[in-house]
Copies of this chain bind each other. A is one copy, B any other.
């Protein structure tokens, strides 16, 4: 079976990664790629690594161009997806990699993004625990999917098992992330220049202002608490891709170290793309580069009463494009792992 596919925002990093994965996916046929300022140019001028797609030319991102495909993936700046999606036919599967359809609470949208609120769609983190099951339940047969924020899904996957199992406190969570600059997109900003990133570590959005915070707490509430609060600090480090999230939570009174570890191991025991490493092992982002895998290592620090959860994700794959395709696989009834590798490209 082959589904026709369009990718909007194809000249950016998320768009490029969607295309890299789609190009080798056996059930998807990329017919159309679109862009904004770069429309009219060959795709390969902007994605020179996509050698198998060098016949494609970027078209304009309009409803007319996007209509008529079985699946449309959107990799647009926030605020843009909402405008486009309203005019796509209801029978088209639309997967939005932007932020426009992630937040269920309009107040969160207003506080962290602002502008028109477009409403929440099925959230594209299949493994995420919810009070009624898993994230994938809402994806089966879905026609509208919001792929997650890369930082947000990494942290949510890191902490949800402990909350769902009741072994960690949902308040006073702390998460510090080492992130590659590709997560910020192909944006012409001084702080994203190579000379500003090479050889240095650079924090941003310090002190509770990052837009992924409400998305994290929303996921943690879904996992089974009525309140969740997290101190969240991302640090740009000199690797093009990757997120290494170090998250800590206070262990609830009486939970043993074994019970804590078991919460994570049980939660992800049957998941192909979220894997808990054995005691004493911790992941590196290189281990998941190019892969749709989230690798989790955890340690209980009994001296301080906290569990430390270290999770490695490729921000462009499991954090964005891989999550989008995994979710689309589920929505279309394909095997969930189709076209997605668990193996990283290392060293």
Chain A: interface residue total (CB-CB under 8 A): 89
- With A186-B193, A197-B198 already in contact, 18 other A-B pairs whose C-beta atoms are closer than 8 Å: A13-B347, A16-B346, A47-B346, A172-B304, A193-B194, A200-B239, A200-B346, A201-B239, A202-B285, A203-B244, A203-B284, A203-B297, A207-B299, A229-B303, A231-B306, A233-B248, A235-B246, A238-B238
**Residue from the set A176, A300, A342 with the largest chain B CB neighbour count within 10 Å:** A176
Q: Which residues of A are in contact with B by a Cβ distance under 8 Å?
A: 13, 16, 20, 23-24, 47-53, 171-172, 174, 176, 178, 180-182, 186-190, 192-204, 206-208, 229-231, 233, 235, 237-242, 244, 246, 248, 250, 275, 281-291, 293, 295, 297, 299-306, 308, 310, 312, 341-347
Enumerate the 4 nearest inter-chain pairs by beta-carbon distance, A residue then B residue, closest first. A207-B299, A49-B344, A200-B286, A194-B197
13 A-B contacts, Cβ less than 8 Å apart? A49-B289, A174-B248, A181-B195, A187-B193, A194-B196, A194-B240, A198-B239, A200-B239, A200-B284, A200-B286, A208-B302, A231-B301, A238-B238
A51 x B291 contact (CB < 8 A)? yes
Given the known interface contacts A194-B193, A291-B51, the answer about A246 and B229 at a Cβ–Cβ threshold of 8 Å is no
A190 x B188 contact (CB < 8 A)? yes
**Residue from the set A180, A200, A202, A305 with the largest chain B CB neighbour count within 10 Å:** A200
Nearest B-chain residue to A279, judged by Cβ = B207
A194 x B203 contact (CB < 8 A)? no
Given the known interface contacts A208-B303, A237-B237, A345-B345, the answer about A198 and B195 at a Cβ–Cβ threshold of 8 Å is no
Given the known interface contacts A182-B347, A346-B16, A347-B182, the answer about A192 and B190 at a Cβ–Cβ threshold of 8 Å is no
Give the complex CA separation of A3 and B275 in angstroms. Answer: 29
Q: Give, as a whole number of angstroms, the nearest-CB distance from A178 to chain B.
A: 4
Please tell me how many copies of the chain the complex holds: 4
A290 x B293 contact (CB < 8 A)? no
Residues of B with C-beta under 8 A to A204: 282
A291 x B206 contact (CB < 8 A)? no
B189 x A192 contact (CB < 8 A)? no
